[in-house]
Amino acid sequence: MLNSAELSKLLDQTQNIAKSVGAFIRKERQHFDVKNVEHKGFNDLVSYVDKEAERQIVEQLSVIFPDAGFITEEGTNTTRAEVYNWVIDPLDGTTNFIHGLPVFSVSIALMEKEEVILGVVYEINMHECFYAIKGGGAFCNDTPIRVSKAPNLAASLIATGFPYYNFELIDRYLATLKSLMQSTHGLRRFGSAAVDLAYVAAGRIEGFFEYNLNSYDVAAGALIVQEAGGKVTDFSGGKNYIFGREILATNKSIHQEFFEELDRIWSA
C-alpha cells in the first residue's frame, strides 16, 4: 500500500501532468475547428483534443505509477488493476470547449480498491488547480480551501448539469429545478461536473447535484469536496456516487435539507 510520502509525491506529479495537458488543451482551443468534432452518441461529443489529452495523461501516469490500472473516458487504456486505478476525464466540459465557452477542466483521480485517495481538478481557463489526498485537506493553487458556512438552502447557490441525451427522468429533474428556483439564491449550470464539485469545495457554491454521470466525471471532485469539509452521497443518501451515476455534494450544513427535497421528488 502507498504510504503518505509516496501519495504526496504522486499528488505533486499528477498536478504537473494535469497542468501540462491543460496547456495543450488551451493551445488547441485557439485554433480549434468545429469540423473536428465527432459524435459518440446523441449530443455526446468528442474531438481529437480529448483523445490526445487522454493519451498524454495515460502515458505520463504509467511512468509515475506503473502498477496502477485505468478507467478512462475515451478508452485509451481500459486495463484495470486489482488495487490501484486511475480515473481520468481528459477534458470535462467538451461541449463548452467546442463552443469556446471558458469552463472546462482536466480531472484525474486515483482509487485504492473502492476508495478515492487522490484527486486533481485543473480548471484550464482560470489556471486553478484544485487537489486533495485522503486525510490531507483540500487546496487550490497551494491555498487551503473549505466549503461555505451557509446554513440552509435559502442561503445557498446551487449548481447542476442538464441532461443532454437521457431524458427518461426529465420530469423529476424539472420538478427539482422548479423547487430549487423558489428556495435558493439561484441555480447555475457551468458545464463541467468536475468544476462544479471543485467550486463546492472552494465555498463558491453550496451544493451540486446531477444524474447520469460517470465515475471519471466525479471521482476527483468528490474527494476534494470531502477533504474541504463537505458531504457527498448518492440520491438515496448512500455511498454509490462514483459508479452509481448520481451525486449530491454539499457544504454539509444543507445536505439533509437538500437530500430530503431530492428524495421527495425523485422517490415519488
Q: In CATH, what class is 153-266?
A: alpha beta
Whether 94 and 46 have beta carbons less than 8 Å apart is answered as yes
For 160, residues 6+ apart whose C-beta sits below 8 A from its C-beta are 177, 187, 188, 189, 196, 208, 209, 210
Q: From the annotation, which residues make up the binding site?
A: 73, 89, 91-92, 217
Q: From the annotation, which residues make up the binding site for Mg(2+)?
A: 73, 89, 91-92, 217
Residues of the chain with CATH 3.40.190.80: 153-266
- Cell 430530503 sits on residue: 260
Which cell numbers in the block locate residue 99?
463552443
Which cell numbers in the block locate residue 160?
447542476
pLDDT at 34: 78
Q: How many whole angstroms separate alpha carbon 182 and alpha carbon 180?
A: 5
Q: How many whole angstroms separate alpha carbon 162 and alpha carbon 176?
A: 12
- pLDDT one digit per residue (tens) for the chain, 268 residues: 899 999 999 999 999 999 999 999 999 999 887 777 777 655 456 688 999 999 999 999 999 999 999 999 888 898 999 999 999 999 999 999 999 999 999 999 999 999 999 999 999 999 999 999 999 999 999 999 999 999 999 999 999 998 777 788 899 999 999 999 999 999 999 999 999 999 999 999 999 999 999 999 999 999 999 999 999 999 999 999 999 999 999 999 999 999 999 999 998 7
Q: How many whole angstroms separate alpha carbon 141 and alpha carbon 152?
A: 29
pLDDT at 41: 59
**Regarding the domain delimited by 4-144, which CATH topology (the fold level of the hierarchy) does it fall under?**
Fructose-1,6-Bisphosphatase; Chain A, domain 1 (3.30.540)
Q: How many whole angstroms separate alpha carbon 206 and alpha carbon 190?
A: 14
Coil/strand/helix, residue 168: coil
For 66, residues 6+ apart whose C-beta sits below 8 A from its C-beta are none
DSSP-assigned letter for residue 76: S
pLDDT at 268: 76
pLDDT at 36: 72
pTM for the whole structure: 0.95
pLDDT at 259: 97
Q: How many whole angstroms separate alpha carbon 73 and alpha carbon 92?
A: 10
Whether 218 and 242 have beta carbons less than 8 Å apart is answered as yes
